[in-house]
Amino acid sequence: MPTVDVNGVPIFYVRRLGGKHNLVFVHGAGGSHQIWLHQVNSLHQVNAYALDLPGHGRSGSEGRGSIGEYGDLVIAFLDAFGIEKAVISGHSMGGAIALDLALRYPERTAGLVLVCTGARLRVTPLILDGIRQDFQGTVNLIGQFAYAPDAPPEVVRLGQEQMARTPPEVLYHDFAACDAFDVRDRLAEIHCPTLVISATADRLTPLKYGDYLQKHIAGARLTVIEDAGHMVMLERPMQVTQAIQDFLADLG
């Protein structure tokens, strides 16, 4: 399986090469590269990468304690492949990482794709406390809220199983990092091309989060996916892929 050494950490990734734009997909809390497989395999004329963050999926080491630490890891991932600039596509916590990169490493960020995320990611104590008190029950609860009510049960089940494979401490620190994240007063500093994708049935990062990003990031466009939940790239993969493809085409 492909791994790359990133500051001494074996980072698992998948990629598909075929264009001039570099696009790096970053998953959310307790996730892995697998949520992005449809996009990696379906996008045209792009060098697409999807990685497992440390402590997630097939990557080694432990998770990180802050969004900034994860952001530094993604920059080191780019360095490992000699990538000077990339479009960063992030889902939920991955979207926070993408925003962090645009603010701290603007010279490395060619664009942003922000999927079901927000400038502030408050996490209910039901999740933070629940991960430590009833891990499996809390994973099941997250799964119930992460998908639209009519999402295929098999998709929901597989998502819950994926999250349950994340070590409890890693999952806890992921959500704690999200809870501490807040860049609402800095969005005006972002000037790279930005696509925001939101879903009408998202109960974790509601549509108003996407509206806020679109209104406060100069030139950002908003694509709304109807009747999909927080895991929109799994529930409506073709629509998400097409929105990203159109965005990349406009970059030239």
Give the residue extent of every domain in the chain.
Answer: 3-251
Residues 210/187, Cβ–Cβ less than 8 Å = no
- In sequence order, the β-bridge partners of residue 195 are 113, 221
Q: What residues have CB less than 8 Å from 86, skipping those under 6 apart?
A: 22, 23, 24, 49, 78, 108, 109, 110
Residue 158 has pLDDT above 80, yes or no: yes
Which tens digits make up the pLDDT trace of 63-73?
999 999 999 99
Q: What residues have CB less than 8 Å from 46, skipping those under 6 apart?
A: 18, 19, 21, 22, 23, 248
Residue 252: pLDDT band (50, 70, 90) is confident
Q: What residues have CB less than 8 Å from 133, skipping those under 6 apart?
A: none
Lowest mean pLDDT among 113-122, 146-155, 242-251: 146-155
Instruction: Give helix 93-104 / helix 67-80 axis angle, nearest 10°.
Output: 70
Burial classification of residue 64, based on how many CB atoms lie within 10 Å of its CB (0-12 exposed, 13-18 middle, 19 or more buried): buried
Q: What are the distances in angstroms from CA 113 to CA 57, 74, 82, 247, 248?
A: 22, 15, 21, 9, 10
Which tens digits make up the pLDDT trace of 88-138?
999 999 999 999 999 999 999 999 999 999 999 999 999 999 999 999 999
Mean of per-residue pLDDT scores for the chain: 96
- Three-class SS state of 175: helix
Residue 15 has pLDDT above 80, yes or no: yes
Which tens digits make up the pLDDT trace of 175-215?
999 999 999 999 999 999 999 999 999 999 999 999 999 99
Instruction: Give helix 135-146 / helix 168-180 axis angle, nearest 10°.
Output: 50
- In sequence order, the β-bridge partners of residue 222 are 196
What gap in Å lies between CA 11 and CA 111, rounded to an integer?
23
What gap in Å lies between CA 73 and CA 67, rounded to an integer?
10
What pLDDT shows up at residue 20? 85
Instruction: Give helix 168-180 / helix 125-133 axis angle, nearest 10°.
Output: 160
How, if at all, do strands 86-91 and 194-199 pair? unpaired
Fold of domain 3-251: Rossmann fold (3.40.50)
Residue 1: pLDDT band (50, 70, 90) is low
